[in-house]
Amino acid sequence: MRYKNVIFDMDGVLIDNSEGIMSTARYTIAKLGLPALSDETLKKFIGPALVWSLKTYCGADDEQAMYGLTVYRKEYLKSGIRMYRLYDGVYDTVKTLREAGVRLSVSSGKPIDVVNEILADSGMKDFFEVTAGTIFPAKVSSKDEQMKKAVLERPALMVGDRVFDLECAQNANVDCAFAKYGFGDESDYAEIKPKYFIEKAKDLLDIVLQ
């Protein structure tokens, strides 16, 4: 076994919830009275903290962004949370790793209660020892702080799909596998190179268990 602990990001790695995030972001932006964004820009809301995204892509000020967080959360819990699907092979991959004795954890920018609800709904919650996420109503989501909770044993491997995942893996001194099936692109690993690239979830089995 090459890695004793595998740490998963959620959005773009375990689940495709682009429909739920984009729909809820669109609703929130309209409620704030801010200019509508293209679908291409709305896709950039997947991964980073919402407050940061509202400021960066919509020009919201601190007060607007914090109000937007409340609006978004209410709408997401109402309908967006159910707009997701597991990526192909994710359930079987996670199950196989756990049965092989690999310790599993989640480090996500999503609110921790949302992370746990989705894991429970998908039937995967019992596979994970630790889930780390944002504590509402935090103004920022610190991936570095979440990683501190998520690293259970070394050597560890982070599985992510955005530059934020690469950065926190580097800061935590753990290797990273970049999920090319997720929401990121070449710009995410232009400066920080992941140790591995995976085309599908099951590719992790050869990397971790070899």
What pLDDT digit, counting tens, does each position of 48-102 carry?
A: 788 999 999 999 999 999 999 999 999 999 999 999 999 999 999 999 999 999 9
* Amino acid 139: pLDDT: 46
The pTM score is 0.86
Is the pLDDT at 145 greater than 90, yes or no?
no
Residue 157: beta bridge partners? 6, 175
Angle between helices 18-31 and 62-78 (to 10 degrees): 130
Q: What mean pLDDT is predicted for residues 167-190?
A: 94
Query: 3.40.50.1010, 3.40.50.1000, 3.40.605.10, 1.25.40.10: which CATH number matches 5-16+85-209?
Result: 3.40.50.1000
- Domain ranges in the chain are 5-16+85-209, 18-82
Coil, strand or helix at 132: strand
Q: For residues 34 and 60, what is the distance between their CA atoms, to the nearest angstrom? A: 8
State the average pLDDT over residues 151-177: 95
- Highest mean pLDDT (candidates 44-48, 138-142, 176-180): 176-180
Q: Which CATH number fits domain 18-82: 2.40.50.1070, 1.10.150.240, 3.10.310.30, 3.30.413.10?
A: 1.10.150.240
Average pLDDT over residues 93-115: 94
List pLDDT tens digits, range 16-59. Answer: 999 999 999 999 999 999 999 999 999 888 877 889 999 999 99
Query: 93: which residues sit within 8 A by CB, 6+ positions away?
Result: 201, 202, 204, 205
Question: Using an 8 Å Cβ cutoff, are 108 and 133 in contact?
Answer: yes
